[in-house]
Structure 1
Amino acid sequence: MAGIALLGAGIFAREEHLPAIEAAPTLALKAVYSRSQHSAEALAAASRDPSSVAIYFDSPAVAGKSLDDLLQRADIAAVDVVLPILQQPAVIDKALRAGKHVLSEKPIAGDIDGAKQLIASYEGLGGAAPLWGVAENWRYLESLCYAAEKVREIGGELVTFKLQKYGSMKPDNKYFNTAWRKTPEHQGGFLLDGGVHFVAGLRFLLAAAGQEIKQLVGFSGLLDEKLIPVDTVHAAAITQDRKSGTIVISFGTEFKSGTELEIVTTKGVVSWNPVEVKTVTSQGEEKKEFASSSGVTPEVAAFAEAITAGKISDLQSTQEALKDLEILQRLLESGAGEGAAVQAIGL
């Protein structure tokens, strides 16, 4: 079994990554880290066997308990990094340089330039570098994987596509009340933190149709004043074969909610939401329902398998994560100011 440490003690680390690590048969949780001693202790206490989990923190400063001390442990082969967006790159780089395999939460970095610098630093480590995968759990949703299969199955040429996400953040929402999300220093606020999921999902289904976005143009705005700096973007996008579709992501619509992806080809339509996939062809309509899931458990399991195999899955590649971030950032850039600035896609 590979020893692993969970770095980060926030909501998603505690509720999703901790149980996913414990469910992976080839991973052994050896340690946890958080900036504060209190949050690190709380995370360890939530584990299946707290007595076997070492606690590391940087505040207060205690000899032998820092992140650097954790990274020196020979029995820890990998780390799962689930930290605030702007804190992640430095920790990822430090862990990779310490020879640890890394699974890091999406987005890969706070912006494209930061992501490219981080990737270049990683590639500079050479052939003996540890593995680095970026965790985009939507690529492991059973319903989304099934929808991609249906897109490939019905075939035909792409006609159009749609991403539509509406919802709101209530004042008592646990994610909204995370300090770094409530007063974001990263671009786009919730549009970056949450919106990158929806972009990844759209890209996943478009790839099943043999297409990827090459241009986009849009408008953005702030509908809910507490969700600074922007919470909504409406855009049109075009693929390499000049097939156009629409992208709507909003966290500021109190009375409208729901998430839908749709791929329309010359042979049929595949419509996806997290718990249902509907396929319409000349043969009729088919629906399949799915249990609600985050996708984190199979995502962490795939990382564990990658450690054993010595190769990261394409679904967790840094290039896939960079493409997700690029589209999201271009949406924000296109919508800035008066909006409608055409953005080219393809780093």
Structure 2
Amino acid sequence: MSAASKTGVAILGAGLFAKEAHVPSLETLGPLAPTVKAVYSRSEKSARELADEVTKRLNTKPGVYHDSDPASNLDALLARADISSVIVVLPITQQPSIILKALAAGKHVLSEKPVAPDVASGARLIATYNAEYKPKGLVWRVAENFEAEPGYIAVGRAIRAGKIGKVVFFSLRVVNYIDQESKWYKTPWRTIPDYQGGFLLDGGVHSTASLRVMLPSSLTHLSGFASLNKDYLAPHDTINTILKAADGSHGIFELSFAAPSASRSSIGNGTIITGTDGYLTVAQTKVQDPVTGGDKSVFRVTIKSVKTENGKAGPEKEEVIDEAVRGVELELASFFAAALEGKDDGLGDPLGALKDVALIQAALNSEGKLVDLENLVQQS
């Protein structure tokens, strides 16, 4: 029996990412996803706009729920017996309470990253889930699409296979250009963020998740600095850090949303991981789709392997892997398999997402001092 024939799913939140990422991914999944039977937003206008998008792309007419009508509010949606799961795509500070509300209503939950605004509140949320809702068989997963990206997973697989030997050092650089006309900036909750880091938290957990997936050993320590260089990106827009992993490898993580121009964001971005027997690079690029003839986004992994004998490097071998960008689609498929069929592949574990928040929080507060990342998570 397909997931679509079972109880339905609701989308809570009607912002850009719900419309531009989740709905198209549900369309791609087709019968592998349950029917979207309801949408919710604080305002009726945005809820109806999302409902129209669902109707257009998924050929179904969902119920519309919003806060301006007590008969059609979130409580009414969560009371529906024909909805077994919800996708939460709401502002960062609102998500924890909505996650708990949905779990209390007996719904499986997929919540957008980050898991919470800070480590302490994320740890409390996970503890409550583990104590009260997980024993009841309810599934809660965090939608971190970079964790699901086949490109990053391919990197982790190549390193475990020994293609570059033991990891020695690494670097991840992400420089973005955000101006006040950007559709991502104009969202009110981003314009005046009531959470640490602003864009650095909201977007930065993608980068930390990619490191978590690629590196063979967990990150244990961080030292770094944070700054604000464009007032409209307050409270911070740039972090530069040094990281250490449990296996002794170390590296650099640089993240900024304060590029002076769009062209700066196209220079030097990407990941380089260097080992004893070679190195690899990862970067997002465009390639021609052989089916449609148009462009499609891929993560390109280039592996350079070299064996050293008697202190002399042998010939270098190159392997190139292109993996289509499809993390949102795959995280949704994984969640539905876990929630509806009990097939849990471990993707979207809230504890992994908490470690992503911990790295960003440490970078924002380090001021050059060494931060023990494991203690930060365990003591919260």
**Which bracket does the TM-score occupy, shorter chain normalised?**
over 0.9
Unaligned runs of 5+ in 2: 1-5, 285-298, 307-315
Conservation of the 8 A alpha-carbon contact between 2:170 and 2:274: yes
What residue number does 1:343 align with?
Answer: 371
Task: Write the distance in 2 (CA, Å) between the matches of 1:290 and 1:102.
Answer: 28
Identity of aligned residues (%): 39
Task: Write the distance in 2 (CA, Å) between the matches of 1:30 and 1:322.
Answer: 30
Conservation of the 8 A alpha-carbon contact between 1:122 and 1:129: no
Paired amino acid for 2:207: F
- Structure 1 residues 278 and 50, CA gap change in structure 2 (3 angstroms): closer
Shift of 1:49: 5.5
Task: Write the distance in 1 (CA, Å) between the matches of 2:364 and 2:198.
Answer: 10
What residue number does 2:174 align with?
Answer: 165
| Alignment deviations for residues 122-175 of structure 1 (CA, whole Å, 9 cap, x no partner) | 122151141000000012222222222222221522210111111210221110
Structure 1 window deviating more from structure 2 (65-74 vs 312-321): it is: 312-321
Conservation of the 8 A alpha-carbon contact between 1:8 and 1:33: yes
What residue number does 2:157 align with?
Answer: 149
Aligned length: 337
Work out which of the residue numbers 215, 226, 246 in structure 1 matches 2:232: 226
Paired amino acid for 1:276: R
- Determine whether 1:288 maps to 2:321: yes
Work out which of the residue numbers 138, 151, 155 in structure 1 matches 2:146: 138
Q: Secondary structure at the match of 1:194?
A: helix
Alignment of 1:179-328 (within 5 A): 179-206=188-215, 209=216, 211-255=217-261, 256-258=264-266, 259-274=269-284, 275-282=299-306, 283-291=316-324, 293-310=325-342, 312-328=344-360
Q: Secondary structure at the match of 1:38?
A: helix
Task: Write the distance in 1 (CA, Å) between the matches of 2:82 and 2:72.
Answer: 16
Paired amino acid for 1:139: E
Paired amino acid for 2:270: E
- Determine whether 1:101 maps to 2:108: yes
Shift of 1:250: 0.7
What residue number does 1:15 align with?
Answer: 20
Task: Write the distance in 1 (CA, Å) between the matches of 2:218 and 2:192.
Answer: 33
- Structure 1 residues 51 and 312, CA gap change in structure 2 (3 angstroms): closer
Alignment of 1:78-89 (within 5 A): 78-89=85-96
Task: Write the distance in 2 (CA, Å) between the matches of 1:309 and 1:203.
Answer: 27
Task: Write the distance in 1 (CA, Å) between the matches of 2:232 and 2:141.
Answer: 33
Task: Write the distance in 2 (CA, Å) between the matches of 1:114 and 1:313.
Answer: 25
Conservation of the 8 A alpha-carbon contact between 1:9 and 1:40: yes
Q: Secondary structure at the match of 2:205?
A: helix
Conservation of the 8 A alpha-carbon contact between 2:164 and 2:274: no
Task: Write the distance in 1 (CA, Å) between the matches of 2:159 and 2:304.
Answer: 11
Unaligned runs of 5+ in 1: none
Shift of 1:243: 2.0
Looking at CA atoms only, which structure, 1 or 2, has the larger radius of gyration? Answer: 2
- Determine whether 1:174 maps to 2:198: no
Shift of 1:307: 1.7
Give the root-mean-square deviation of aligned CA atoms.
Answer: 1.6
What residue number does 2:132 align with?
Answer: 125
Shift of 1:91: 0.3
Task: Write the distance in 2 (CA, Å) between the matches of 1:241 and 1:299.
Answer: 29
Shift of 1:39: 0.5
- Structure 1 residues 20 and 289, CA gap change in structure 2 (3 angstroms): closer
Conservation of the 8 A alpha-carbon contact between 1:234 and 1:249: yes
What residue number does 1:73 align with?
Answer: 80
Structure 1 window deviating more from structure 2 (282-291 vs 197-206): it is: 282-291
TM-score normalised over the length of structure 2:
0.85
Q: Secondary structure at the match of 1:46?
A: helix
Q: Secondary structure at the match of 1:249?
A: strand
Conservation of the 8 A alpha-carbon contact between 1:182 and 1:227: yes
Task: Write the distance in 2 (CA, Å) between the matches of 1:272 and 1:64.
Answer: 50
Shift of 1:14: 0.9
Q: Secondary structure at the match of 1:89?
A: helix
Paired amino acid for 1:328: I
Task: Write the distance in 1 (CA, Å) between the matches of 2:58 and 2:149.
Answer: 28
Shift of 1:290: 4.2
What residue number does 1:112 align with?
Answer: 119
Task: Write the distance in 1 (CA, Å) between the matches of 2:37 and 2:77.
Answer: 10
Conservation of the 8 A alpha-carbon contact between 2:27 and 2:58: no
Task: Write the distance in 2 (CA, Å) between the matches of 1:212 and 1:51.
Answer: 43
Task: Write the distance in 2 (CA, Å) between the matches of 1:15 and 1:306.
Answer: 24
| Alignment deviations for residues 70-124 of structure 1 (CA, whole Å, 9 cap, x no partner) | 1010000000000000010000000011110000000000001111111111122
Conservation of the 8 A alpha-carbon contact between 1:138 and 1:294: no
